[in-house]
Structure 1
Amino acid sequence: MPRTHAALPRLYVEPDLVAGGSLTLGKEQSLYLAAVLRKTVGDEVVLFNGRHGAWLARLTSDSKKSVALEPMEQIAAQTPPSDLWYGFAPLKTERLDYVIQKAVEMGAGTIQPVITRFTQVNRLKHERLVANAIEAAEQCEVLSVPVVEAETTLERLIDTWPADRRLVLADEGEASASPVDVLGTLKGQKVGILIGPEGGFSDDERTKLRALPYVVPISLGPRILRADTAAVAALAVIQAIIGDWR
């Protein structure tokens, strides 16, 4: 998608966006525009809500408690939601934030934290994950914000996995090889990618996953990758071979 109005602040909002309408921001976003960015009446910003594309809007009130805005025109059409499912074992805080942000940038449609035996973090703040996804979408001009699901266990994930979606498993135990040929066989199918924790999946988890008919193990090359690096690498090769980079 070509960049438009790149110099303007971009904000995710919940209300509908229509020409001639109006909306009022909450305290946090109002403070950001009026106090941090020092925007005043007449200044322009870009708004999006994940449904109606990107809209150029003008401030009609610059109160630090409740900035009011008027959407003027749509400057980018709404992009369709991505069908790419991304599951990962949560990491510690800073790297967890990184993984969420990169998943948004790489075009994931659903982001699913999965608790495994060796997962470093077992209790997550879901609202923080959602906020990180929204912030990444604002910064990278992503119009379809991914759905961030609440954490689940690997066992529950397996029990509820849909039969019509293949699950690509980034398997550190797989013999080193290019994933290109394997992923090429999945073209046109619904796909998910699962990244394990630091230290990898346990032997029992790997055995159980590899025995499932919908699981497609792949190697991510000859080097040992950190979990956050593996996430970006796996999403990149999927998007390049069978995703929306083609």
Structure 2
Amino acid sequence: MTAKDFQRSQDSQAAGLASLAALIADETRAACLLALLDGRAWTAGELARLAGVAPSTLSEHLGKLVAGGLLAQERQGRHRYVRLADARVAQLVEDLAAQVQVGVPGAGIRQQGRTLREASARSAMARGRTCYDHLAGRLGIAVTDALTSRGLLRQDTGFALTDAGLEWFGAVGIALDRSTRRPLARACLDWTERRPHLAGTAGAALCRYALDTGWCVRIGSERAVKVTSSGERALFELLGIETERLS
């Protein structure tokens, strides 16, 4: 590659990065991206109510996010549904959100000064939530710590399932799709716990299994999840997680 070719490549990357940053650097669009971290598809009307803007305004924002490759959309009858384009977009949004929580002076103070309802919702999110398609909050950290302490997950050179870990997933009945290019295990920085939790194919499979079997249930309209009594028993029997860690 010549010096001119290298410079053109750098200029192209810089322009693309600036375009992506500008796409996210709008409070309404950012609110939509954060809401869609629950991994579900939302209608434009639902997102408009969440963001507190007119449907026509929200539609313009969604159009930009779809065109920019951050959202995927589909129509069912009169409704238009949107979701995050893929796990890579979810990782980008979650990582940026984590940086905001850690890096902005006074962010925690401002968030604590909201209404009782908002404080309760934030508390529920801190206890347990979905981060796109895997578990986060104290629940996600507790599961990650338990997998690590039992030798099922390694964190010394990045996240990786051990042979014992692969056997554990199989014994529990949690199927792992290893045909995709997505990492089997990946660390995702938890913005409430300031520590990494398990993401990747294994994290997604575990979260899906927990919801399908009723170990966890979604609560409210946010990403918060609650561990059920059967989930408490299962997590203790399979991973030795004490109920107190989930409260």
Fold agreement, TM-score > 0.5: no
Q: TM-score, normalised by structure 2?
A: 0.23
Compare the two structures and name the one with the higher strand fraction: 1
More helix by share: 2
- TM-score (ref. length: structure 1): 0.23
